[in-house]
């Protein structure tokens, strides 16, 4: 059997070849529900139980990547590297999807923090032997995001920036240079103020699909900066 089902509590894990076959079957029978696809997979691959709707959904979300890599030789492998805690993968993926569904951006630091909390509090990873613990490094996160088919994306919306190459801006800069010409550099001070919008959300988010930008909070405090 091509499925890792060494203990009753572990989820069914299909090989890349089986996942590719499932995606092909879905293309030819698009009218079938994900639950029906799970039943088909059980019969087709001789599994001990139906593949869950969540697993089917995850596989179909990566079908484009699956078709691109088919034939490279990697499809014969179960995965590039065994996943230590597949149930933790599901927890983190559900967290990302939940945040995306609510329009809330989530960055890399937030995902790593959430993963550590769930791993230690729910699965007691900090009490496991060292060889079973996960090092929640940036490299681990990159591989995890690739594994579930998500990446960091810019959130689209009304984002405008000043064009410093425009004729009007260049003319204004030249006027300032002329005004400052009589003064020594040590006597030229530059003062500016900026607003710290402490409730604004990030402009990039880890997600499966493009996300719309949220309405920006106007709450802020002002900081004055003086230098020469």
Per-residue model confidence as pLDDT tens digits over 62-101: 777 666 655 444 444 444 455 667 888 888 988 888 888 8
Q: Do 49 and 131 fall into the same domain?
A: no
Looking at the domain assignment, is residue 148 inside a domain? yes
Q: Do 126 and 20 fall into the same domain?
A: no
Would you give the DSSP letter of residue 23? H
Q: Which domain holds residue 33?
A: 16-76
Q: Do 23 and 38 fall into the same domain?
A: yes
Q: In this structure, are residues 35 and 47 in contact, taking their beta carbons and an 8 Å threshold?
A: no
3-state SS, one letter per residue, for 191-212: EEEEEECCCCCCCEEEECCCCE
Q: Do 64 and 98 fall into the same domain?
A: no
Structure tokens at 52: 């869950």
Looking at the domain assignment, is residue 5 inside a domain? no
Phi and psi at 108, nearest 5°, equal -65, -40
How far apart, in whole angstroms, are the C-alpha atoms of residue 121 and residue 221? 37
Q: Do 151 and 88 fall into the same domain?
A: yes
Q: What is the mean pLDDT of residues 22-31?
A: 80
Q: Domain tally for the chain?
A: 2
Q: Do 196 and 126 fall into the same domain?
A: yes
Looking at the domain assignment, is residue 173 inside a domain? no
How far apart, in whole angstroms, are the C-alpha atoms of residue 184 and residue 181? 8
Q: Do 68 and 95 fall into the same domain?
A: no
What average pLDDT is seen over the chain? Answer: 76
How far apart, in whole angstroms, are the C-alpha atoms of residue 13 and residue 15? 7
């Amino acid at each position: 059997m091509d499925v890792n089902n060494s203990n009753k509590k572990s989820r069914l894990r299909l090989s890349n070849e089986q996942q590719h076959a499932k995606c092909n079957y879905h293309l030819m029978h698009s009218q079938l529900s994900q639950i029906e696809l799970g039943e088909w997979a059980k019969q087709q691959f001789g599994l001990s139980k139906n593949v869950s709707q969540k697993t089917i959904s995850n596989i179909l979300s990566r079908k484009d990547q699956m078709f691109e890599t088919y034939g490279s030789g990697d499809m014969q492998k179960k995965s590039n590297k065994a996943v230590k805690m597949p149930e933790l993968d599901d927890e983190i993926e559900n967290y990302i999807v939940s945040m995306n569904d609510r329009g809330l951006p989530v960055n890399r630091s937030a995902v790593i923090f959430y993963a550590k909390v769930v791993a230690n509090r729910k699965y007691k990873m900090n009490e496991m032997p060292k060889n079973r613990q996960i090092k929640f490094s940036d490299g681990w996160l990159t591989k995890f995001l690739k594994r579930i088919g998500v990446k960091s994306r810019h959130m689209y919306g009304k984002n405008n920036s000043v064009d410093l190459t425009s004729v009007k801006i260049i003319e204004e800069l030249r006027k300032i240079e002329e005004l400052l010409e009589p003064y020594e550099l040590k006597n030229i001070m530059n003062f500016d103020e900026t607003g710290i919008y402490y409730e604004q959300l990030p402009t990039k988010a880890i997600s499966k699909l493009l996300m719309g930008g949220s309405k920006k909070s106007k709450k802020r405090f002002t900081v004055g900066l003086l230098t020469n």
